Amino acid sequence: ISFNCVDSALSSLKHCQSYINTGMDVATHVALDLVESFNDVEDVNSMEKVMVEYAAMDRELNHYMRAIEETVNQIKREKPENVPDLKYLVKEKFTALESKNSDSDLEKNEKYMYFKDQLKEMRKQCKFCHQSDDEAIEQIDEDIAVTQSQMNFICPITQMEMKRPVRNKVCGHSYEEEAILKIIQTRKQQKKEVRCPKIGCSHANVKGSDLVPDEALKRAIDSQKKQ
């Protein structure tokens, strides 16, 4: 049995998945724009609903591709004399996978988790911008808090303001992308693990795969420069 057509179909489906990923990236940027522009919570929540819908699409697509791959592998193992009903077998496996769906699946989607994390950080960075004049006057420690916020703009490796900050998904600390990747590469050649450069952090195995662009922090730095 030739599976060339099936392989071609799987390739197309994986290409569709890249469109979903792009859509989730766009939704994340729009949500951060909304927070930065002081739009109300309802607008931001609508973007979160979009992200959940994308996550559901991604899960459904993953299940369908998995159903196809498992069916093909099963046929290759069993080598039946007659060509089986491939469409029926795939549907059966797909339905079984979909029956186990839960909301927690969507919350574990990597891009949705990134969306939530960056939204939280963006709101934190814009906290003082959202305050009214009266609230600002009442906040005695505002100058201290702003100074502390600006300290977060400094890379713990280069001790300079970050230009392309990346965030460690494990410990939550951020570093200049080029600086941390250089350390990881050097330690890899020495066959050593990389401890988080942030003073006081106990995370002792920083990996390149754990680093994601810290869009919220970059926006805060850029905003500070404009001011």
Tell me the domain boundaries of the chain: 3-129, 165-225
**The predicted structure's pLDDT at residue 144:** 42
Structural class in CATH, domain 165-225: alpha beta
**Residue 165 gets which letter from DSSP?**
E
Percent of all residues in the chain with a pLDDT value above 90, rounded to a whole number = 63
In sequence order, what are the beta bridge partners of 176?
165
Over residues 128-139, the mean pLDDT reads 49
pLDDT tens, residue by residue, 71-96: 999 888 888 878 788 889 999 999 99
Question: Does residue 78 or residue 29 have the better pLDDT?
Answer: 29
Residue 194 pLDDT more than 80?
Answer: yes
**The predicted structure's pLDDT at residue 209:** 94
With b for 16 or more beta-carbon neighbours within 10 A and e for fewer, the 42-53 pattern comes to: eebeebeebbee
Query: 3-class SS at 201?
Result: coil
Among 36, 34, 16, smallest CA distance to 220 is for 36
pLDDT, mean over the chain: 87
**The predicted structure's pLDDT at residue 212:** 95
Over residues 111-121, the mean pLDDT reads 93
Query: 3-class SS at 82?
Result: coil
Residue 134 pLDDT more than 60?
Answer: no
* Band of pLDDT at residue 150, cut at 50, 70 and 90: low
* Band of pLDDT at residue 9, cut at 50, 70 and 90: confident
**The predicted structure's pLDDT at residue 127:** 67
Task: Report how far residue 25's alpha carbon sits from residue 186's, in angstroms, rounded to the nearest whole number.
Answer: 31
Residue 136 pLDDT more than 60?
Answer: no
**The predicted structure's pLDDT at residue 83:** 75
- Name every residue whose Cβ is closer than 8 Å to that of residue 110 and which is 6 or more positions away in sequence: none
Structure tokens at 34: 């909304």
**The predicted structure's pLDDT at residue 152:** 80
Task: Report how far residue 105's alpha carbon sits from residue 45's, in angstroms, rounded to the nearest whole number.
Answer: 19
**The predicted structure's pLDDT at residue 158:** 95
Over residues 40-60, the mean pLDDT reads 92
* Band of pLDDT at residue 224, cut at 50, 70 and 90: confident
